């Protein structure tokens, strides 16, 4: 590791620990030795965005890593990660949620999920529309998905230099999170995953309690 040295990584860890924010190291495209370098410094939450890559890495790396899936997930591929994945952060449809529930049941597991919300202005970004999500929560989700633990929301802001816009998008997601949290009988709905290497400072200011950092941790 060149720039992300032990000292540097420990100060990043301390920064988020002080703020009670959970740090997910997004290790997509990174070689196993670089993942292990963070693992040996205590990091356990790692995120991947491709099923094939995640399955390979899970088989080769320590068992106690908590793998987060953060990319677009096709329903037909859920079965490959259902046996071991710790949290699926990118659930963007009811169909996918149902599939995860079914596969979790097959594996005799309960899988934690975050629902991805479309907050960015870009057309190509995935996620639930806000109003569809409101409808979903009116439908007593706690009753329908016995093998899913609905832990919270995830969102990605627009890729832009306009900090005001990013701030607004994160604020919107936080307000929605607070609103949905009030849904009766919803337990454990307590994670707001927003912020990446370029915008985590804005996400923290808007109430994120989980960040997903890639390039900042794995600098060349």
Ligand X SMILES: *Cc1c(COP(=O)(O)O)cnc(C)c1O
Residues that bind ligand X (CB under 6 A): 26, 28, 49, 70-71, 156, 196-198, 212-216
Parallel, antiparallel or unpaired: strands 111-117 and 148-155: parallel
Query: CB nearest ligand X: which residue?
Result: 214
Contact 100, 91 (CB under 8 A): yes
Query: Whose Cβ is closer to ligand X: residue 27's or residue 101's?
Result: 27
| Whether 86 contacts 112, CB under 8 Å | yes
> By C-beta, is 39 or 46 nearer to ligand X?
46
Residue 90 CB, nearest approach to ligand X (Å):
7
**Tokens encoding 125:** 């970004």
> What is the nearest approach in angstroms of ligand X to the Cβ of residue 197?
3
Q: Which spans in the chain are helix H? A: 6-18, 32-39, 51-60, 78-81, 94-106, 130-138, 141-144, 163-181, 200-205
> Between residues 30 and 103, which has the closer beta carbon with respect to ligand X?
30
Nearer to ligand X, 63 or 161 (CB): 161
Question: CB of residue 19 vs ligand X: minimum separation in angstroms?
Answer: 17
């Amino acid at each position: 590791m060149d720039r992300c040295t032990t000292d540097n990584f420990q100060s990043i860890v301390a920064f988020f620990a002080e703020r009670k924010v959970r740090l997910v190291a997004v290790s997509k495209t990174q070689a196993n030795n670089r993942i292990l370098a963070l693992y040996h410094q205590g990091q356990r939450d790692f995120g991947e965005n491709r099923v094939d890559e995640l399955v390979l890495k899970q088989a080769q790396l320590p068992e106690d890593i908590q793998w987060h899936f953060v990319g677009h997930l096709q329903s037909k591929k859920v079965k490959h990660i259902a046996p071991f994945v710790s949290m699926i952060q990118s659930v963007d449809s009811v169909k996918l949620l149902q599939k995860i529930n079914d596969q979790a049941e097959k594996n005799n597991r309960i899988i934690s999920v975050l629902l991805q919300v479309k907050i960015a202005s870009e057309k190509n970004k995935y996620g639930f529309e806000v109003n569809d999500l409101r409808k979903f929560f009116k439908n007593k989700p706690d009753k329908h998905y016995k093998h899913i633990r609905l832990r919270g929301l995830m969102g990605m802001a627009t890729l832009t230099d306009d900090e005001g816009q990013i701030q607004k998008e994160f604020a919107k997601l936080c307000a929605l999170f607070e609103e949905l949290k009030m849904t009766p009988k919803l337990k454990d709905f307590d994670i707001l995953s927003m912020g990446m290497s370029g915008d985590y400072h804005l996400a923290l200011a808007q109430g994120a309690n989980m960040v997903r950092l890639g390039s900042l941790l794995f600098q060349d």
